[in-house]
Amino acid sequence: MQTIKEYVQSNKDRFLEELFALLRFPSISADPKYKEDVVKTAEFVAERLKEAGADNVEVCPTAGNPIVYGEKIVDASLPTVLVYGHYDVQPADPLELWETPPFEPTVRDGKIYARGAADDKGQFYMHVKAFEYMMRNNALACNVKFMIEGEEEVGSANLETFVKANKKRLQNDVIVISDTSMISMEQPSLETGLRGLSYVEVEVTGPNRDLHSGVYGGAVANPATILAKMIASLHDENNHIAIPGFYDDVIELSAEEREALNKAPFDIETYKEDLGIGEVWGENGYTTIERTGIRPTLEVNGIWGGYIGEGAKTVLPSKAYAKISMRLVPNQNSHRITELFKTHFESIAPKYVQVQVKPHHGGEPVVTPTDSIAYKAAEKALEEAFNKKPIPTRGGGSIPIVALFEKELGVKTVLLGFGLDSDNLHSPNEKYGIENYLKGIETIPSFFKYYAELSK
Amino acid sequence: MQTIKEYVQSNKDRFLEELFALLRFPSISADPKYKEDVVKTAEFVAERLKEAGADNVEVCPTAGNPIVYGEKIVDASLPTVLVYGHYDVQPADPLELWETPPFEPTVRDGKIYARGAADDKGQFYMHVKAFEYMMRNNALACNVKFMIEGEEEVGSANLETFVKANKKRLQNDVIVISDTSMISMEQPSLETGLRGLSYVEVEVTGPNRDLHSGVYGGAVANPATILAKMIASLHDENNHIAIPGFYDDVIELSAEEREALNKAPFDIETYKEDLGIGEVWGENGYTTIERTGIRPTLEVNGIWGGYIGEGAKTVLPSKAYAKISMRLVPNQNSHRITELFKTHFESIAPKYVQVQVKPHHGGEPVVTPTDSIAYKAAEKALEEAFNKKPIPTRGGGSIPIVALFEKELGVKTVLLGFGLDSDNLHSPNEKYGIENYLKGIETIPSFFKYYAELSK
């Protein structure tokens, strides 16, 4: 029997080729015009699962994008691991900022550049290849179920229905998700918390048509100016979010917890240099690690209104828009926060304009236990692969499915992520290290092994 | 000899057909990709001038779009009128809001719907047709020169060079421009002032790339939020413009002048209803007529940044932009104001971001005399055509050329406009009344006649 190290060595090129093929699909879930590519991607994933040895592989239709399911039940007495991932990706624009086309994977200094390389195609596909190894070497220590969805980047709108309708089929002992980052290749880590999300789109309407700014300017409220004033008021002078009740449900960490959190290796200078900023920004009284890990945030993800083309147009726009999202921390509820935002935003709208707040999608925050068998198994697997004990961290991102699973299936999740914060997730030139990819494939079988052992 | 009334009656259909042909050219000067159409439009205008009887017609090249020149010198002893107009138009977007395509002129309830119908193709072409009448009926009472340019909507960048280089050729006694509005078909008016313009584009840069708003949100300044705060600060709580020194050169009108100005028929309820707004907005202490006529203003003409496509993208943008223009009143200088803006905007930029201010174009404010022979001639011509004495008004728009002419040629201008504020200038569904068009053609020859008489 080959060891996983040997197997990865001898199949490395094929593992990369297969990932590249997967990355070539522009499976952008936010934009309806990619619907067909999204479906093709799901079928591709299903094929790879079959080849790897999964049974009952199915491309399950939903009201939105299909969910790919597959499983291998070796022995009912063994624990069952459910692997969750997503084959959809973020939009690639602004396209002009990509050094190489987002859907033509290219390798530069050991990194795979492509939209979805790390988020999440490169990461979920590690599980498919690790599974292939365990199957071919008769080393599958647990039953395994795969659920790879296609709407994670747009809020997993149809996953809840699917999960509720398939509780029996999805039944498992632990969920493993590789869709997060670790500190570095020198310092492995395990995320033990994820933030929730409330995403809204706002529309401010002034006059019933675009107006000549010379004829009407100065006499009619400009929705772009009003929107700017409204957005400006959402953070106070200490950069606290100025929405009444916003922090009511936030659980404050103890001094000890905060101290532990800030022990994670972090160099502010390297951070600023990497981002090309002169100064970090954020809520007064908290460190950068805390601002992204344990504090809720409010960000403008997009703003537009009036003439944004070439040259100059002297128009007073009829409408202005913004996409605004809030990251939530444990005990905050996305529905409540969305309501609070809506009520507040409407309440601060001056009489000159009409305001509409359209909720996009949300997700609930979670904290994953560090004392569970699954966490310990992940810890051992990572220590074995990296020769260093991983440290627990708090992730800033959101994976709504984690909270959904806890609620619907009563199962906890392990966030076994191999990405890096510098992978340009959701940005141009998204990348994923070849080394991260192969290390991941190498780590997963040991997780299965240790999880089975510790479960005995 | 036919009277102008008779001539208009018998040639009405042809006059409309010719205007429609002119309106079919998408001569958008703001967008380079229409360059070819712009040139074709200039050639079309030159042809029509020749047909009407003009001599020395020339499509004069400039560093930008060509200027069409033509003249008819009947007698050196007669006064010379220079007709200025522009064949370029504003961009047509947002296209989806047009009921019929912007460059397919369509008549609905007596109005011609098309981009440029009123601004300025429909208005300058009245002069070409009035000139045709005077030529064919041997009724040309003055020498006439035409200068129709193609860059008015982008600040007439190359006109100054042309005027300076052609002072002799352009020599005249009065300039007539039909590119403004009157109060209504029941109440003719003559604009006696125009506001100047300073137009800038600002760029706010935060991090060197778009970031994942979950991983970095709350810890890195968001340029969209910062831009919103900066724009919000440009007006104080009384809606005064909060740029130090901005009002220094503004000439305050006397109580009498303001009273006279506010005598113009204006119904605030009709105004609000037409625009679909609940309340008017503006600088405290001034009426709506004053806010658009005698006070400087600052408007956001466009704002954009981050993800503005379909659906949701959780990105913290690297850059945010805005197009901002200021309308200036007599004694303010566009270059000085642009400098004041730039200095102020850069000074309020927080250390988290970099700010760039790019000046687009400007123009100087003017006041035209109401005691001149030319004004009196226009007054008589309008009274004759509308059976009602026109009243003087202050226009909110800008026609930089007027100040340029005063400076370079030492000649005053008469603003003989036949449009209406409700013509949707710079907006979707721009229109121009067929009646306005024909009334204009009818009025112009009398202006020439009276101007010649009063000049004796």
Pairwise CB contact (< 8 Å): B206 & A97: no
Distance from CA of A3 to the nearest CA of B (A): 35
Same domain, A438 and A341: no
Q: What is the pLDDT of residue A289?
A: 93
Same domain, B94 and B145: yes
List chain B residues with CB under 8 Å of A233: 232
Q: CA-to-CA distance for B42 and B121, rounded, in angstroms?
A: 11
Residues 91-110 of A with CB under 8 A from B: 91, 93-94, 97
Of A155, A181, A221, the CB nearest to B312: A155
Band of the pLDDT at A263, cuts 50, 70, 90? confident
> Per-residue pLDDT tens for A66-109?
999 999 999 999 999 999 999 999 999 889 999 999 999 999 99
Asked if residue B290 is part of any domain, the answer here is no
Report the run of H or E that residue B380 belongs to, with start and end: helix B373-386
Of A211, A231, A281, the CB nearest to B219: A281
Asked if residue B282 is part of any domain, the answer here is no
pTM of the model: 0.83
DSSP-derived 3-state class of residue A31: coil
List chain B residues with CB under 8 Å of A358: none
Q: What residue of A is the nearest CA neighbor of B306?
A: A302
List chain A residues with CB under 8 Å of B292: 214-219
Q: What is the pLDDT of residue A12?
A: 97
Cα radius of gyration rounded to whole Å, chain A: 23
> Per-residue pLDDT tens for A221-259?
999 999 999 999 999 999 999 999 999 999 888 998 899
Asked if residue A269 is part of any domain, the answer here is no
How is residue A431 written in tokens? Answer: 């990348």
Residue A202: closest CA among A107, A97, A324, A318: A324
Pairwise CB contact (< 8 Å): B216 & A94: no
Asked if residue A286 is part of any domain, the answer here is no
Same domain, B329 and B398: no
Pairwise CB contact (< 8 Å): A232 & B235: no
Domain boundary among B327, B342, B363: B363
Q: CA-to-CA distance for A98 and A52, rounded, in angstroms?
A: 33
Q: Label residue B267 exposed, middle or buried (CB < 10 Å: 0-12, 13-18, 19+).
A: exposed
Pairwise CB contact (< 8 Å): A303 & B228: yes
Residues 18-47 of A with CB under 8 A from B: 29-32
Residues 308-337 of A with CB under 8 A from B: 308-317, 320-323, 325, 327
Distance from CA of A113 to the nearest CA of B (A): 15
Q: What is the pLDDT of residue A157?
A: 85
Same domain, A327 and A385: no
Pairwise CB contact (< 8 Å): A312 & B361: yes
List chain A residues with CB under 8 Å of B366: none
List chain B residues with CB under 8 Å of A424: 209
Of A232, A279, A397, the CB nearest to B215: A397
Residues 422-441 of B with CB under 8 A from A: 424-429
Contact A247, A275 (CB under 8 A): no
Domain region containing B355: 196-250+296-363
Same domain, B440 and B304: no
A304 reaches B (C-beta below 8 A)? yes
Asked if residue A137 is part of any domain, the answer here is yes
Locate the DSSP E strands across A37-155. 55-60, 67-72, 80-86, 106-108, 111-113, 143-149
Pairwise CB contact (< 8 Å): A228 & B231: yes
Q: Say which CATH number the domain at A388 has.
A: 3.40.630.10
Q: CA-to-CA distance for A154 and B313, rounded, in angstroms?
A: 8
ipTM of the complex: 0.83
How many other CB atoms sit within 10 Å of the CB of residue A76?
7
Q: Distances in Å between the alpha carbon of B235 and those of B200, B202, B243, B297, B299? A: 17, 17, 8, 10, 10
Distance from CA of B91 to the nearest CA of A (A): 7
Contact A337, A344 (CB under 8 A): no
Pairwise CB contact (< 8 Å): B91 & A229: no
Of A305, A325, A395, the CB nearest to B303: A305
Question: Which residues contact residue A254 at a Cβ distance below 8 angstroms, ignoring those fewer than 6 apart?
Answer: none
The whole-number average pLDDT for the span A6-25 is 97
Q: What angle do CA B408, B165, B128 make, to 5 degrees?
A: 80
Q: What is the pLDDT of residue A125?
A: 98
Q: CA-to-CA distance for A11 and B237, rounded, in angstroms?
A: 68
Same domain, A322 and A375: no
Same domain, A124 and A241: no
A396 reaches B (C-beta below 8 A)? yes
Asked if residue A261 is part of any domain, the answer here is no
Asked if residue A263 is part of any domain, the answer here is no
Distance from CA of B129 to the nearest CA of A (A): 27
Distance from CA of B260 to the nearest CA of A (A): 19
Q: What is the pLDDT of residue A313?
A: 85
Q: What is the pLDDT of residue B415?
A: 95
Distance from CA of B307 to the nearest CA of A (A): 5
Asked if residue A262 is part of any domain, the answer here is no
Domain boundary among A306, A328, A363: A363
Pairwise CB contact (< 8 Å): A292 & B218: yes
Q: CA-to-CA distance for A227 and B228, rounded, in angstroms?
A: 8
Pairwise CB contact (< 8 Å): A214 & B397: yes
Pairwise CB contact (< 8 Å): A303 & B305: yes
User: Count H helices, E strands: chain A?
Assistant: 13, 19
Residue A321: closest CA among A218, A433, A160, A200: A200
Pairwise CB contact (< 8 Å): A278 & B352: yes
Q: Which of A154, A266, A281 to mutate to test the interface with B (most CBs of B within 10 A)?
A: A281
Q: Distances in Å between the alpha carbon of B267 and those of A245, B184, B263, B297? A: 44, 12, 11, 22
pLDDT under 50: residue ranges of chain B: none
A200 reaches B (C-beta below 8 A)? no
Report the run of H or E that residue A297 belongs to, with start and end: strand A297-306
Same domain, B423 and B328: no
| Whether residue A330 has pLDDT greater than 80 | yes
Domains: count for chain B? 2
Return the C-alpha torsion angle B46, B51, B57, B62, nearest 10: 0
Same domain, A342 and A414: no
Q: CA-to-CA distance for A298 and A233, rounded, in angstroms?
A: 12
Same domain, B64 and B204: no
How many other CB atoms sit within 10 Å of the CB of residue B60?
17
Question: Which residues contact residue A250 at a Cβ distance below 8 angstroms, ignoring those fewer than 6 apart?
Answer: A295, A296, A329, A331, A332
Pairwise CB contact (< 8 Å): A306 & B323: yes
Q: Say which CATH number the domain at A331 has.
A: 3.30.70.360
Same domain, B341 and B434: no
Pairwise CB contact (< 8 Å): B302 & A321: no
Same domain, A166 and A209: no
DSSP-derived 3-state class of residue B396: coil
Question: Which residues contact residue B250 at a Cβ distance below 8 angstroms, ignoring those fewer than 6 apart?
Answer: B295, B296, B329, B330, B331, B332
Pairwise CB contact (< 8 Å): B221 & A30: no
- What letter does residue A33 receive in the DSSP assignment? G
Which region holds residue A310: left if phi is over 0, alpha if psi is between -120 and 50, else beta? beta
A399 reaches B (C-beta below 8 A)? no
Q: What share of chain A is helix, strand, coil (3-state, %, to 5)?
A: 35, 20, 40
Pairwise CB contact (< 8 Å): B218 & A323: no
Domain boundary among B331, B363, B395: B363
List chain B residues with CB under 8 Å of A349: none
> Per-residue pLDDT tens for A368-421?
888 899 999 999 999 999 999 999 888 777 787 898 899 999 999 999 999 998
Q: What residue of B is the nearest CA neighbor of A317?
A: B301
- CA B79 to chain CA centroid, nearest Å: 27
Distance from CA of B388 to the nearest CA of A (A): 24
Pairwise CB contact (< 8 Å): B210 & A307: no
A156 reaches B (C-beta below 8 A)? no
> Per-residue pLDDT tens for A268-319?
999 999 999 999 999 999 999 999 989 999 999 999 999 998 888 889 999 9
List chain A residues with CB under 8 Å of B179: none
The whole-number average pLDDT for the span A146-174 is 95
Which residues are paired to B362 by β-bridges?
Answer: B198
Q: What is the pLDDT of residue A62?
A: 97
